[in-house]
Amino acid sequence: MGNESSRNQLSGLVIDEKAFEVTDNWTLYSANYSSGSNPKVSVFIEASQHSSSLSPLHLFAKNLMLHRHPCILKYIASWTKSGKLYLATEDVRPLSHVINSLTSIQKCIGLYSILKALVFLHEQAKAAHLNVCKASIYVTADGSWKLGGLEFLKRFQDLTLSYLQETKSKRYIYGIAPNEDDCAPQPPTIIDQYAFGVLADEILEEKSNDQVPALKEFKDTCINCLRSGEPSERPSLSQVLRHPFFTHEFITVHNFLSELAIKTQDQKTEFFKSLAADLKVFPENLIASQLGSLLLSRLVLLDSAAQACLLPHLLTPRSDEYPESLFSDSVFSKFIVPKLLSIFCVRDSQVRLILLKYFKLFCSSFTQQQLQLQILPELLLGIKDTSDELVCATLHALADLVPVLGSAVVIGGKRSRIFADGRPKLWKEPEKDHESSKKSLESDLVSSEIITELMLHERPSPDGGEDLIQESQNCNSNSSHLLQESNDDDNEQWIDWESPQEKESSVGVVEKPRIAKKDSIDEIKSLGIFVKPKEVKPDEIDALFQDMEPVISKTPVAVISENGSSNKFDVASIEDQVEDGWADDIDDWGAVSDDNFESISDKIQEPSS
């Protein structure tokens, strides 16, 4: 069964505890091993020890190793352990496990693959399978059917009637022609022709006739021709391949992709020009599941015609921006992403460049775990390559990963803020009506005035009206000078320092100086105090200014009554009895005319004796 190294157990092989299939001859398990591009394999373990080297699994392994074909189960290794034979093949499942979930067209493609394997055995290997049935068929992860069960395979020259009779009880009973002993072993192919007719009829019996072109005609061919009691009426399997059931458009595409290596460049160019449009007539699930591996093969990715006409539709999930793509994001994630993960491990610069070209468009279809654990390590490896083109494309792909995984994951290491945001902080005035804006401005100005006044040095209360009037005049003079300067400078804004209440009274009120807002703020900053102005409501303004009104002692006015009191202490007593000491009707503080003297006297009562 090959050189000695193939008999050794695969390095790091871990076999699952649960078996997929148990037969009289072997038990089938799924397993993983540490080397190889495909770490998953299937392992057939001999059911019991055999003293003879011609056990069924031994013959199965030997024929798998000798007969290599894309549609025959792929042999990987075999070895003996504890007296039992182990056979490792590509990762597969028995057809019986998936048959109920397949559509008619998937079954059509599967039967076509089995036909091609049988034609290869008949025409190239000159051998007969002798046990074509569902138990001899296995399905790979991408849905491809592979012919197995080669333990009964015999070359035409070695096939005898005695061998058929000896193995009859071990082969699939319904796949054996009733008159096999009468017509065998010549010609040997008639045994597989009959068995394939039974297989196709069993697989297609539960599906309607309108799902695949020429399905009904093919079923009639299986019953009336392949299963005919007269061996001479059974068509060769090569003829069956040309039946309309196997020559419709989807099968034609599948066949061309399978045989791409033997096609000329002109044939490939013409094929890929119309392939994207041809595929859109089929369900996207069917295209992705049945043609995904073929469409993403190395021969397709590196073909110039495919790069120009097919890959833009294949490697871009469908969206509003790319409505012509073949697959929606959900189908792309389910069927295409697993294949792309495997292709990212290929150490081929041209293949990697193709993937990086479309990486920005399909990277969102990967999960964050797939990007971080599988894609990112491959990209980080790519930036160490000597090819400038590959490094440049890889850096672009890493940049596309930053919004998804974050810069800490992509770049790694300790990072700190080096660049600051130097954009000016623009203040946008909130939208208000005119009255609200005016009230808000007044409140802000009053708040600023209050803060500035609190920061200024406290002035002593005036002792008399004269000093207060003089100070008021000086302040007004300074204020007028400041206001004159403000007209010469458009960049400076000035505010009115006095409150609305103070403007209402024109007699007996000291008018406060108008102070520039900028100078006030500078003075506050010079004191090391930074206070954010607070919006003050009009009601709060009155409360704040109530305690801040200047306390000015009124100049006592001596009024001599008719009784003519000479007591010098009567002035204080008279002042306490005045109801309104501010005298709004007096034009000037301290100036009392003859006309209003009597009105004032009426408000003053005689002092108590």
Q: Is residue 146 within 8 Å of residue 72, measured between CB atoms?
A: yes
Which segment, 346-350, 552-556, 601-605, is predicted with the most confidence on average?
346-350
The alpha-helical segments, DSSP class H, found in 149-248 are 161-167, 180-183, 189-204, 215-221, 237-241
36 sits in the region (left: phi over 0; alpha: psi -120 to 50; else beta) called left
pLDDT in tens, 554-589: 555 555 544 544 454 444 444 444 444 444 444 444
How much of the chain, in percent, has pLDDT values that exceed 90? 45
The residue to which tokens 């096999």 are assigned: 180
More confident residue, 360 or 576: 360
pLDDT in tens, 198-217: 999 999 886 555 568 888 89
Q: What is the mean pLDDT of residues 134-151?
A: 93
Q: What whole-number distance in Å separates Cα of residue 155 and Cα of residue 125? A: 8
Q: What is the mean pLDDT of residues 395-399?
A: 94
Q: What whole-number distance in Å separates Cα of residue 109 and Cα of residue 2? A: 32
Q: Is residue 379 within 8 Å of residue 360, measured between CB atoms?
A: no
Confidence of residue 502 (pLDDT cuts 50, 70, 90): very low
Q: What whole-number distance in Å separates Cα of residue 315 and Cα of residue 362? A: 7
Cis preceding linkage at 178, omega within 30: no
C-alpha closest to that of 292 among 257, 321, 265: 257
Confidence of residue 436 (pLDDT cuts 50, 70, 90): low
pLDDT at 471 over 60: no
pLDDT at 449 over 80: no
Q: What whole-number distance in Å separates Cα of residue 509 and Cα of residue 495? A: 20
The pLDDT score that the predictor gives to residue 546 is 55
Which residues are CB-neighbours of 432 under 8 A, at least 6 positions away?
440
The pLDDT score that the predictor gives to residue 479 is 46
More confident residue, 4 or 115: 115
pLDDT at 397 over 80: yes
The pLDDT score that the predictor gives to residue 238 is 94
The overall average pLDDT reported for the chain is 77
Instruction: Give the distance from CA 430 to its chain's centroid.
Output: 37
543's tokens: 């409360």
The pLDDT score that the predictor gives to residue 411 is 83
Q: What whole-number distance in Å separates Cα of residue 333 and Cα of residue 340? A: 10
521's tokens: 């703020």
The pLDDT score that the predictor gives to residue 444 is 53
Query: DSSP letter string over 54-108?
Result: --HHHHHHHHHHH---TTBPPEEEEEEETTEEEEEEESEEEGGGTGGG--HHHHH
The pLDDT score that the predictor gives to residue 585 is 45
pLDDT at 503 over 50: no
Q: What whole-number distance in Å separates Cα of residue 101 and Cα of residue 103? A: 7
pLDDT at 314 over 50: yes
More confident residue, 425 or 471: 425
At residue 207, φ and ψ (nearest 5 deg) are -105, 150
The residue to which tokens 């197995």 are assigned: 148
pTM confidence score: 0.62
pLDDT at 512 over 50: no
Q: What is the mean pLDDT of residues 181-204?
A: 88
Q: What is the mean pLDDT of residues 108-131?
A: 94
pLDDT at 538 over 80: no
pLDDT at 495 over 50: no
The pLDDT score that the predictor gives to residue 214 is 87
pLDDT in tens, 91-104: 999 999 999 888 88
Q: What is the mean pLDDT of residues 446-471?
A: 47
pLDDT in tens, 235-292: 999 999 999 999 888 889 998 998 898 899 999 999 999 999 999 988 898 899 889 9
The pLDDT score that the predictor gives to residue 181 is 81
